[in-house]
């Protein structure tokens, strides 16, 4: 143990927004602990100390919660999926609670009990995984292992498994590792290994290296790896991220494809694509119900599939008053019972697939050889009535091009994404319009006639977008968020003109604290 990082005994009380369990040190400071559950008595090592709080991780459980289960990856779960230690029912409960608390932070009471959709697939759902590398001297030789970063420190932990990933991803990663072990390659030469699989089980890999080592993998060696294709990529060692500086070698077919709501998309290994497609499609099914001529009388019925596979979770603080709901609109309140640290829990990435504002993604390449859909995207409502939709932060349009109706505009800042979006539009025989721009620079497309779809990065909506929405007042905003805290902030900003018509949680990332939240905002009468 490090000299200045003692082990203390503490009773844990609750789960907070970042995913840690919260306790209190003897000196009164809040203690945020990884690897513990509410109600447990644990011994925890302090890993970070500040004047008002401390952070740590459990080293021994003295009194275990009934919600605790043994993690599938006991040596590495804290690095990737720290909620492996809790039962599925408990995870659903706490995720519902975190959504509610995020909105309470902004004095908003959600109009109905939190409902979190899950498809029951807790493990083997990830279609993408990125490994680091780790090596140390052993018996006079340098070892080479796949690795994850240790949470709360700069160290790494060697791994040969990861329960959340599809098995074919792990098999391919181990084969690449074993191949490199036979060469004079050390972890110092390597940056990362990215492996991705589509829903059919096809696998593509990318090896990112810090040195321009020629022929680090030969054609014959690549052909022996059980994958559809792969690449060797030089990545500038000055950058901590696995960015493509120069593609050195390519083997086989490096493009994967998946169907989203019956629409086929092809995508690059490094590109943004949802890592849990079945749950993503369930969210799209619900979103599609709201893309239609507006009828404020009542919300559309929940789909049978969603209703049968959802987990309804009621959560409320004992001190919190009941929601005051009138005619389907959410009520604001003047006080809330929150843990003090919730607002700071905004940026833990875990293994979530996210769009980054700092590092624009390489989005989906165009779908190739997609058959005509007989006007799939042109006629989604009866008759000749047009449904005008604006899809902001659209990527290559996987939302707008699948559920957007018959008059769709898609706005995206990444030029490569827009290029592929246009090709997708052509292949799909859609009359959708693609716009290359940051959402805050395409405000003229926000009109009073359009239904607005937004799926922003974790930072939430740009302030200029919020102000334009308040000025123009489109009738409906469909807001899918990977960060309920910033979503709640945005909903509070929009509250002068909009009320929450419906909301629904989606568990895109089982065994992690992350939760997607869909909010439907309708213009107040």
Instruction: State percent of the chain over pLDDT 90.
Output: 68
Q: Is the pLDDT of residue 54 over 50?
A: yes
| Spatial separation of the C-alpha atoms in residues 315 and 89, rounded to whole Å | 13
Q: Is the pLDDT of residue 416 over 60?
A: yes
Rounded to a whole number of angstroms, the distance between the first and last alpha carbons of the chain is: 62
DSSP 162: -
DSSP 291: S
Q: Is the pLDDT of residue 374 over 70?
A: no
| Spatial separation of the C-alpha atoms in residues 512 and 525, rounded to whole Å | 39
Which residue bears the tokens 């590495």? 76
pLDDT of residue 406: 80
Tell me the per-residue pLDDT of 287-331, one tens digit each, with 9 for 90 and over. Answer: 999 998 765 444 544 433 333 344 333 322 323 222 322 233 433
Which of 145-159, 184-198, 281-295, 324-338 comes out lowest in average pLDDT?
Answer: 324-338
pLDDT of residue 351: 53
Angle at 258 (CA atoms; ends 255, 264), nearest 5 degrees: 100
| DSSP state letters, 10-68 | EE--EE-TTS-EEEE-TTS-EEEEET--TT-EEEEEEEEE-SSEEEEEEEEEEE--TTB
**What is the Cα 383 distance to its own chain's centre?**
37
Instruction: State which H helix or E strand residue 309 sits in.
Output: helix 304-309
470 pLDDT band, cuts 50/70/90, is very high
Q: Is the pLDDT of residue 223 over 80?
A: yes
Angle at 486 (CA atoms; ends 480, 490), nearest 5 degrees: 80
Q: What is the mean pLDDT of residues 70-85?
A: 96
Which residue bears the tokens 């945020």? 32
| Spatial separation of the C-alpha atoms in residues 230 and 249, rounded to whole Å | 8
Which of 39-53, 97-111, 254-268 comes out lowest in average pLDDT?
Answer: 254-268
Q: What is the mean pLDDT of residues 93-119?
A: 94
| Spatial separation of the C-alpha atoms in residues 8 and 62, rounded to whole Å | 12
334 pLDDT band, cuts 50/70/90, is very low
Q: What is the mean pLDDT of residues 53-59?
A: 96
- pTM equals 0.82
Query: 207: alpha, beta or left, given left = phi > 0 and alpha = psi -120 to 50?
Result: beta
pLDDT of residue 265: 82
Q: What is the mean pLDDT of residues 366-375?
A: 32
7-68 and 128-268: identical CATH topology: yes
Tell me the H-state helices in 438-503: 463-472, 484-494
Residues 302, 400 contacting (CB under 8 angstroms): no
pLDDT of residue 118: 96
| DSSP state letters, 222-266 | HHTSSSSEEEEEE--TTSSS---SEEEEEEE--EEEEEETTEEEE
Q: Is the pLDDT of residue 78 over 50?
A: yes
**What is the Cα 340 distance to its own chain's centre?**
24
Where are the chain's structural domains? 7-68, 91-121+276-316+362-523, 128-268
pLDDT of residue 295: 53
For 91, 106, 114, 343, the CA distances from 463, given in Å and listed in that order, are: 33, 16, 27, 18
pLDDT of residue 388: 93
**Which CATH code fits 128-268?**
2.40.50.1070
pLDDT of residue 369: 33
CA-wise closest residue to 248 among 235, 237, 234: 234
Rg (CA), the chain: 24
What mean pLDDT, rounded, does the chain reach? 83
Q: What is the mean pLDDT of residues 79-107?
A: 96
Give the CA count within 13 Å in the CB-facing half-sphere of 512: 22
Q: What is the mean pLDDT of residues 370-375?
A: 32
> Which CATH architecture fits 7-68?
Beta Barrel (2.40)
Q: Which residue pairs, CB below 8 angstroms and at least 24 apart, start in 52-58?
A: 53/29, 53/341, 54/25, 54/29, 54/30, 55/20, 55/31, 55/152, 56/8, 56/31, 56/32, 56/152, 57/33, 57/151, 57/152, 58/33, 58/34
pLDDT of residue 338: 33
CA-wise closest residue to 510 among 372, 351, 325: 351
Q: What is the mean pLDDT of residues 183-206?
A: 96
For 89, 305, 505, the CA distances from 117, given in Å and listed in that order, are: 12, 10, 6
The domain 91-121+276-316+362-523 is classified under which CATH number: 3.40.50.150, 3.40.50.12240, 3.40.50.720, 3.40.1580.10? Answer: 3.40.50.150
385 pLDDT band, cuts 50/70/90, is low
Residues 6 or more apart whose Cβ sits within 8 Å of residue 325: 111, 112, 331
More confident residue, 349 or 42: 42
């Amino acid at each position: 143990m490090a000299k200045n990082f003692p082990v203390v005994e503490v009773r844990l009380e609750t789960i907070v927004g970042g995913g840690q369990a919260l306790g209190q040190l003897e000196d009164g400071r809040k203690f945020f602990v990884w690897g513990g559950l509410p109600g447990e008595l644990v011994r925890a090592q302090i890993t970070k100390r500040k004047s008002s709080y401390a952070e740590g991780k459990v080293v021994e459980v003295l009194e275990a919660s009934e919600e605790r289960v043994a993690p599938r990856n006991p040596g590495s779960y804290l690095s990737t999926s720290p909620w492996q230690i809790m039962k599925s029912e408990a995870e659903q409960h706490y995720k519902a609670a975190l959504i509610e608390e995020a909105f309470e932070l902004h004095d908003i009471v959600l109009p109905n009990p939190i409902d979190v959709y899950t498809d029951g697939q807790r493990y083997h759902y990830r279609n993408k995984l990125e490994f680091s590398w780790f090596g140390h001297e052993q018996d006079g030789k340098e070892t080479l292992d796949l690795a994850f970063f240790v949470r709360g420190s700069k160290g790494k932990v060697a791994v040969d498994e990861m329960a959340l990933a599809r098995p074919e991803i792990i098999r391919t990663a181990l084969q690449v590792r074993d191949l490199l072990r036979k060469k004079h390659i050390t972890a110092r030469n390597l940056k990362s290994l990215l492996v991705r699989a589509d829903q059919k089980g096809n696998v593509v890999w990318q090896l990112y290296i810090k040195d321009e080592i020629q022929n680090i993998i030969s054609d014959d060696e690549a052909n022996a790896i059980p994958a559809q294709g792969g690449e060797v990529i030089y990545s500038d060692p000055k950058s901590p991220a696995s960015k493509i500086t120069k593609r050195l070698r390519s083997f086989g077919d490096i493009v994967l494809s998946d169907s989203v709501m019956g629409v086929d998309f092809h995508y690059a290994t490094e590109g943004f694509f949802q890592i849990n497609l079945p749950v993503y499609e369930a969210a799209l099914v619900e979103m599609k119900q709201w893309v239609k001529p507006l009828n404020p009388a009542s919300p559309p019925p929940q789909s049978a599939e969603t209703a049968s596979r959802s987990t309804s979770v009621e959560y409320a603080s004992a001190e919190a008053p009941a929601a005051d709901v009138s005619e389907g609109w959410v009520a604001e309140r003047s006080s809330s019972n929150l843990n003090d640290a919730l607002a700071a829990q905004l940026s833990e990435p875990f293994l979530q697939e996210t769009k980054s504002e700092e590092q624009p993604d390489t989005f989906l390449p165009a779908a190739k050889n997609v058959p005509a859909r007989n006007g799939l995207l042109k006629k989604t409502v009866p008759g000749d009535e047009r449904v005008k939709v604006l899809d902001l932060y659209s990527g290559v349009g996987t939302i707008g091009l699948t559920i957007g109706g018959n008059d769709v505009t898609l706005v995206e800042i990444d030029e490569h994404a827009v290029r592929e979006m246009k090709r997708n539009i052509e292949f799909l025989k859609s009359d959708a319009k693609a716009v290359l721009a940051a959402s805050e620079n395409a405000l003229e497309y926000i009109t009073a006639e359009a239904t607005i779809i937004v799926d922003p990065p974790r930072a939430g909506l740009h302030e200029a977008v919020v102000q334009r929405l308040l000025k123009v007042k489109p009738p409906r905003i469909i807001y899918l968020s990977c960060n309920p805290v910033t979503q709640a902030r945005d909903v509070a900003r929009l509250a002068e003109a909009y009320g929450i018509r419906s909301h629904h949680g989606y568990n895109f990332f089982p065994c992690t604290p992350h939760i997607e939240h869909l909010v439907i905002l309708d213009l107040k009468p």
